[in-house]
Structure 1
């Protein structure tokens, strides 16, 4: 239920400021670094006109900007869109075509999911034609099988822009070997049908791509709205301001949402107990989340010690997006996020595990996170319109195309979504105890282990981990009971501080073990990551040969050790907090 103070914050929202930014961005393409810098200046000027201090960081990010692409087949030339980070072949690459059947995504999350092509056909030295989008896992798999180029046939009459690398952010030395060495282009469905027919006939084609690649200065505007009690602790609200073409639904509407929230919270800053930081990222589209990754790298220790949650703002306020399903939230944030959406809209939201996408660049630090995409088109309306699944724009197939222009934004839906983001940030910053329930995260881990145990059968036992989870659940339940008694206390109260510090430690341990494979402060690949990823191989055991079971046991032993250590460290942190004198 929205209280009087919260209602006053929500009533302060209006569309004058955000809509003006959307209109300005509707005349500025934001993929070329020069245009991105101009967009940053517009954000900076908008904030300064509102009297809001803003800090502009100016990192150099590794980007890949597609310029042009085409596919030549005999005397026909088909227009195409080069995928960012793919191989630059302006002189053309000629080879035989080969067709590899694939499937189109079923929903937004599926767009970013791991896409295997289970076909043993020889693709070495050939140009592969396949359905779908040129997403990283598919491209990587075909590259490893020896393909020279990939033509992905998009499901509609517009080809979509995108990025094909599995590397998250600017590459480090571990990442560089995975930099794509194949040319990758998207074509529309009609032209793709011609190319599939030609591939089945064994014809030859030429793929032409032109991309600009290198390190580019890319401004990162950041607003810090200081809290009144615990200034060093903060909520991070963030989204990208670069785009493909004019990118109104992805993500001018998100940029405008954050601008309006900055305006309202700056005016109401005396009501904030913790700080709120609002960051606009470059390098999302052409650098695979390079802006947010840079921020995670260069402010990693501050984020590790002080960030209570990260909230991603992408594609709110789009036309026809009246449903709140497929919402991303980590398990511990589920009840909180659902309540915020219900309080603003009266709708029961349906959520899911966050995909490895959308500027979730903070998992390896261990930050609790909620939201990515927010409102979306109802499934029945999408079916009625004959729309296929896309990864943004509220389900509008204008996503990542030239059609993502002003008519994709909807004023009424935007107003509602701004209030959802605003209320969520306000509550997270103003609650006495960080408002997440880690018994939900523990239950999620228990359910995952049950599933893996069923798959592993007698070949491996997760009994130790299940026992540790039960012990941790008991400890966290006691912490939750303690938290209920603290609402009237200041954030500086020793018991409040201890309880909140335990909440942060729970996030640092449980998020990392449930959402990452790589070390702290490094970044996992831009591919789907299953729950408890070190143990997910258990589901392969029913199909494994007898002579490989020992390898599976070895792997699972090491993965369970990592989990046990994380659970025990989390329990110690919680027990330390509940031992503090009241």
Structure 2
């Protein structure tokens, strides 16, 4: 499809200066921890701007489980003790004020020692050290910066004491690369690790605004406004973009479909507490009325000229890619390869741009289609985090207003303006069901290669082929009744997206952050190497999860074959 869309932000009414001024105002509050006075102040500014634009809104208040670091540091003992700056980790255990002292070590002999690990202190690495008997972890950054991250497998609020017990029981910090090299030069030397931290339930605030359309359906955009530091590009640039888009669409003629703007809280500090709370409390409404979810994160980044389509479900990919190219032009193949590497996922055959378990993707269990466009640094940039499209200042104290380029932010706002404008005006929704089934078949291919004797895979492949054929037949038919066609498209996405993205159920979130399509079948990948009893138990689980996937495919087939579907 050929589109002619605005390519000049100013011509679309977008003001780079207004957005950057508001970003600077919000950055001035520093860390905006969920439930803190700084969050309350930032919330007041967001609602002030929405009110000034005449956009109806409300502030949801609820309790969220939040974890964050406080005072952190490392002391290297020896002939001349040295103090080393460190950054703590959200959701990790804390130390007493005086810290913990133990020798440092790398490798697997960690009992009673403080482990040194490379890179970001993510959950799996921290728990591996804990299982090996480490009493603490010091992660070594790839550069002079120190990143704030959280180390939790839980999505949203925990639901039991057993889940809380899954959180790390040892303290964790990150140090700069140079300081890490110093520690490595003193293996076996005692250090003192200080990592004061908090984990607690606390009341939080979350603004949500809405511009109604002619139909009851809506597109939802979300951006987290909680931050580790000032948070200019992660994620206040997205927050001010949403406000700018709300201002523009509120002043424009009513769209065919409505728009909802959500300002999430508890992003990293709560494991996506805000968006998961919203999904839990608006489940039926989102199932029945949401057309799509745009996650808005990492925009306006200085030097961010590579516009990376990511966290995009298959059915929206063609539409989003088309609008993106019409707005900013085609991406060179070298940049496509770079983005694919930066977005690496576990699947062998599924595109890297598909939705991952990050970035407030709390709506896949409901079946809502999603997309995201981020401002990545180009492959040639010297300011990358290693192996990433993100800038080195991501989630650091250095993410200050000067790291946000107003011109880049204006372009990113135009991209989202065009995506939103096209989708909310669509008479027939641009949802590609065939692409969804291609993802199902691509996933089944990998599982079949890993477990060729698993009888469930051929059955699922046969069902997926049937649904794909029905979806292709539907797509080839002219649309006689747009409302009926839209309802059909949405019903099928509600059936397939939950099994494509959730292993356990449509209403519960899986643990961990690893991204894989049809994750319910992931046990098949290790089946060949399992001990006999483990393999037997895995096969029981695989049968049950295959039944869930088959049920979704059979329901999708019945929906597409039902009388009256050729609208």
How much does 1:21 deviate?
1.1
CA 1:573 to 1:254, structure 2 compared with 1: closer, same or farther past 3 Å?
Answer: same
- Alpha-carbon distance in structure 2 between the residues aligned to 1:551 and 1:419: 51
- Deviation string for 1:305-358 (max 9, x for gaps)? 221111100011111111134633111111011011011101248462222111
Is 1:91 the equivalent of 2:98? yes
Is 1:78 the equivalent of 2:73? no
Is 1:563 the equivalent of 2:558? no
- Deviation string for 1:173-204 (max 9, x for gaps)? 16323122111111111111122233xx3222
> Residue 40 of structure 1 corresponds to which residue in structure 2?
43
Is 1:296 the equivalent of 2:279? yes
- Alpha-carbon distance in structure 1 between the residues aligned to 2:131 and 2:497: 31
Give the TM-score normalised by the residue count of structure 2: 0.90
How much does 1:581 deviate?
7.8
Is 1:475 the equivalent of 2:470? yes
How much does 1:386 deviate?
6.7
CA 1:387 to 1:30, structure 2 compared with 1: closer, same or farther past 3 Å?
Answer: closer
CA 1:60 to 1:554, structure 2 compared with 1: closer, same or farther past 3 Å?
Answer: closer
- Alpha-carbon distance in structure 1 between the residues aligned to 2:251 and 2:245: 10
How much does 1:291 deviate?
1.4
Equivalent position SS for 2:434: helix
CA 1:553 to 1:285, structure 2 compared with 1: closer, same or farther past 3 Å?
Answer: closer
Equivalent position SS for 1:380: coil
Counterpart of 2:52 (choices 26, 49, 53) is 49
Give RMSD over aligned pairs: 2.4
- Alpha-carbon distance in structure 2 between the residues aligned to 1:580 and 1:157: 59
- Bigger shift: 12-21 or 29-38? 12-21
Contact 2:73 2:83 in 1 (8 A): yes
Contact 1:365 1:521 in 2 (8 A): yes
- Deviation string for 1:334-391 (max 9, x for gaps)? 10110110111012484622221111111222211111x5121111224xx575245x
- Alpha-carbon distance in structure 2 between the residues aligned to 1:409 and 1:148: 39
Give the TM-score normalised by the residue count of structure 1: 0.87
Is 1:327 the equivalent of 2:334? no
- Bigger shift: 132-141 or 453-462? 453-462
- Deviation string for 1:147-194 (max 9, x for gaps)? 321111111111111111111122211632312211111111111112
- Deviation string for 1:217-242 (max 9, x for gaps)? 222111101001x12x1111001111
- Alpha-carbon distance in structure 2 between the residues aligned to 1:387 and 1:5: 32
- Alpha-carbon distance in structure 1 between the residues aligned to 2:489 and 2:174: 45
> Residue 15 of structure 1 corresponds to which residue in structure 2?
16
Contact 2:206 2:265 in 1 (8 A): yes
Is 1:155 the equivalent of 2:155? no
> Residue 251 of structure 2 corresponds to which residue in structure 1?
267
- Alpha-carbon distance in structure 2 between the residues aligned to 1:536 and 1:527: 14
> Residue 286 of structure 1 corresponds to which residue in structure 2?
269
- Alpha-carbon distance in structure 2 between the residues aligned to 1:337 and 1:562: 30
> Residue 374 of structure 2 corresponds to which residue in structure 1?
374
- Alpha-carbon distance in structure 1 between the residues aligned to 2:271 and 2:297: 15
Equivalent position SS for 1:218: strand
- Bigger shift: 20-29 or 255-264? 20-29
- Alpha-carbon distance in structure 2 between the residues aligned to 1:374 and 1:448: 26
In the TM superposition, what are the counterparts of 1:164-243 in structure 2 within 5 Å? 164-173=151-160, 175-198=163-186, 201-228=187-214, 230-231=215-216, 233-243=217-227
> Residue 346 of structure 2 corresponds to which residue in structure 1?
none
In the TM superposition, what are the counterparts of 1:520-559 in structure 2 within 5 Å? 520-544=506-530, 549-559=535-545
> Residue 345 of structure 2 corresponds to which residue in structure 1?
none
- Alpha-carbon distance in structure 2 between the residues aligned to 1:381 and 1:347: 19
Contact 1:10 1:422 in 2 (8 A): no
- Deviation string for 1:366-425 (max 9, x for gaps)? 211111x5121111224xx575245xxx62211111211122111221111111112212
Is 1:341 the equivalent of 2:324? yes
Contact 1:224 1:275 in 2 (8 A): yes
- Alpha-carbon distance in structure 2 between the residues aligned to 1:237 and 1:548: 43
Equivalent position SS for 1:123: coil
CA 1:2 to 1:267, structure 2 compared with 1: closer, same or farther past 3 Å?
Answer: farther
**Structure 1 residue ranges without an equivalent (≥5):** 101-120, 487-494
- Bigger shift: 536-545 or 82-91? 536-545
- Alpha-carbon distance in structure 1 between the residues aligned to 2:200 and 2:539: 44
- Alpha-carbon distance in structure 2 between the residues aligned to 1:364 and 1:10: 38
> Residue 489 of structure 2 corresponds to which residue in structure 1?
503
How much does 1:38 deviate?
0.5
Contact 2:32 2:227 in 1 (8 A): yes
**Structure 2 residue ranges without an equivalent (≥5):** 337-351
- Deviation string for 1:502-525 (max 9, x for gaps)? 222222221111111232222222
Contact 2:9 2:410 in 1 (8 A): no
CA 1:387 to 1:182, structure 2 compared with 1: closer, same or farther past 3 Å?
Answer: closer
How much does 1:137 deviate?
2.3
How much does 1:3 deviate?
4.9
Contact 2:101 2:191 in 1 (8 A): yes
Contact 1:513 1:562 in 2 (8 A): yes
How much does 1:440 deviate?
0.5
> Residue 125 of structure 2 corresponds to which residue in structure 1?
138
- Alpha-carbon distance in structure 2 between the residues aligned to 1:518 and 1:461: 17
- Alpha-carbon distance in structure 1 between the residues aligned to 2:557 and 2:410: 42
> Residue 440 of structure 2 corresponds to which residue in structure 1?
445
Is 1:245 the equivalent of 2:240? no
- Deviation string for 1:264-321 (max 9, x for gaps)? 1111242x11111001112113212111122112212211222111110001111111
How much does 1:87 deviate?
0.9
